[in-house]
A and B are shown apart, each in its own frame.
Chain A
Amino acid sequence: MTTVIIDSGGANLASLQFALERLNADARVTNDPSIVVNAPRVILPGVGSAADAMKRLRACGLADVLPNLTQPVLGICLGMQLLFTRSEEGATDCLGIIPGEVKRLTAEPGRPVPHMGWNQLTALRADPLLENIVENDYVYFVHSYAAPVSDVTLAATDYGTRVSAVVRRGNFWGTQFHPERSGAIGSRLLANFLRLN
């Protein structure tokens, strides 16, 4: 029952691997589509830019495979943004699994971009991924782009404007924040994900 972490290149995967290790989860890093297809669960992390990451997913054949997966999939940070139709970052088409466009955050006095740090979850909708996670819990964000709130939003966060913090469409979930760096709350979310079928 090995969870697969997709290595789209360039991303630092150590902290995610360690987080799963702390939950005693068996995890394997790969970009081989045949292994991804057969995994019980898939995590799509991502650091870097949307255009670069999409290029890498296309190069290894995963861009066509990912939208057709039927097992639970969790996109983290840029990985969540890639689930959407499009991103303003590099004006790139993404995986098109969730309708919508990821947009750049607007810097304001006192709200620099990237948005970096602990912020609260708000407007939660019940979902197995968010079991035992409550309104105003703090999680750790590092991002310059975000998905607007829409009907796929399970939880939002406020940073000048309200943006999606957790999204879901069918078997695809995404978190804009880093659960692997979000202390006990993040660990709870990952544990919830590992229980999804």
Chain B
Amino acid sequence: MVGDILELAARYRDEGADELVFYDITASPEGRSVDREWVRRVARGLDIPFCVAGGIRSVADAEAVLNAGAEKISVNSPALANPALIDALSARFGSQCVVVGIDSHQTPQGYRVYQFTGDPNRTRNSGRDTLEWVREVQERGAGEIVLNCMGSDGVRRGYDIEQLQAVRKLCNVPLVASGGAGAPEHFRDVFTQAGVDAALAASVFHSGAIVVRELKRTLRAEGIEVRP
């Protein structure tokens, strides 16, 4: 498993990915933290920034992951359970390495933040308003926000531009779009229409449906400034 991860990481690096995010999505639902040994092994081989997410519940958990060589740590469910964790992480390591992941879904009441999304059986509405939460995590010291729009996630019909635009208006730190990428034009649209700082995708890259290098060439041809 780790071998596969290292190979995939090297492939994306060679293809020109700007940053990699490693999600241990079952860590929080299973009540454990991400395995530090593989963080070390990834860091040993990788020469671009990477972020690690999964069950980071304390300053000590974060420190172990950062000391193993990760550039950033991302918190999601643990921050919902204990928002002061964001303040503590930011005070200790600086906001530049504190990413807050938000899984958000449109409900009749508006956008709501979901928790434990790594396990379909435990996924639940946290009751928090997404836009309020975006504001709060920035006040607490988040240096970056990854907004995963659950309604568009996995269906490859494009990012949720409307929701990302709403969040962008309140978000003064780098905003990363997640959920919904299925075609190169989806990336173009999210940059030009939602003004995000970065776009994250998983399945379309894993399957080879989109190759990072070709995607970047396409975006550059569209006048979007990306690193080759």
Contacts and interface: CB of A to CB of B under 8 A. Distances in A.
Contacts of B49: 140, 181
B174 A117 contact: yes
Contacts of A12: 66-67, 69
Contacts of B13: 183
Contacts of A21: 44
B48 A15 contact: no
Interface string B195-215: 001100000000000000000
A114 B143 contact: yes
A48 B228 CA distance: 30
Interface in A111-129: 112, 114, 116-118
Contacts of A184: 47
A107 B174 CA distance: 12
Main secondary structure on B side of the interface with A = loop
Nearest to A114: B96
Nearest to B42: A18
A14 B172 CA distance: 30
B96 A15 contact: no
A182 B227 CA distance: 12
A142 B19 CA distance: 13
A152 interface: no
Given A12-B66, A117-B174, A180-B47, A142 B227 contact: no
Interface string B40-52: 1001110111000
Interface in A140-191: 140, 142, 144, 180-184, 186-187
B144 interface: yes
Interface residues of B, number: 27
B192 to A, nearest CB: 14
B127 interface: no
Given A15-B69, A112-B172, A187 B47 contact: yes
B18 interface: yes
B43 A15 contact: yes
Contacts of A22: 44-45, 47
A54 interface: no
A112 B43 contact: no
A157 B94 CA distance: 22
23 contacts: A14-B40, A18-B43, A18-B44, A19-B47, A21-B44, A48-B94, A112-B174, A114-B96, A114-B143, A116-B144, A117-B18, A117-B197, A118-B227, A138-B227, A142-B96, A142-B97, A144-B96, A180-B47, A181-B49, A181-B71, A182-B47, A183-B48, A184-B47
Given A12-B66, A114-B143, 20 more contacts: A12-B69, A14-B67, A15-B43, A18-B43, A19-B47, A21-B44, A22-B47, A107-B172, A114-B96, A116-B174, A117-B18, A117-B198, A138-B227, A140-B49, A142-B71, A144-B96, A182-B47, A182-B48, A183-B47, A183-B48
Interface of B: 13, 18, 40, 43-45, 47-49, 66-69, 71, 94-97, 143-144, 172-174, 197-198, 227-228
Q: Which 6 A-B pairs have the closest CB atoms?
A: A14-B69, A138-B227, A114-B96, A118-B227, A15-B69, A18-B44
Interface of A: 12, 14-15, 18-19, 21-22, 47-48, 107, 112, 114, 116-118, 138, 140, 142, 144, 180-184, 186-187
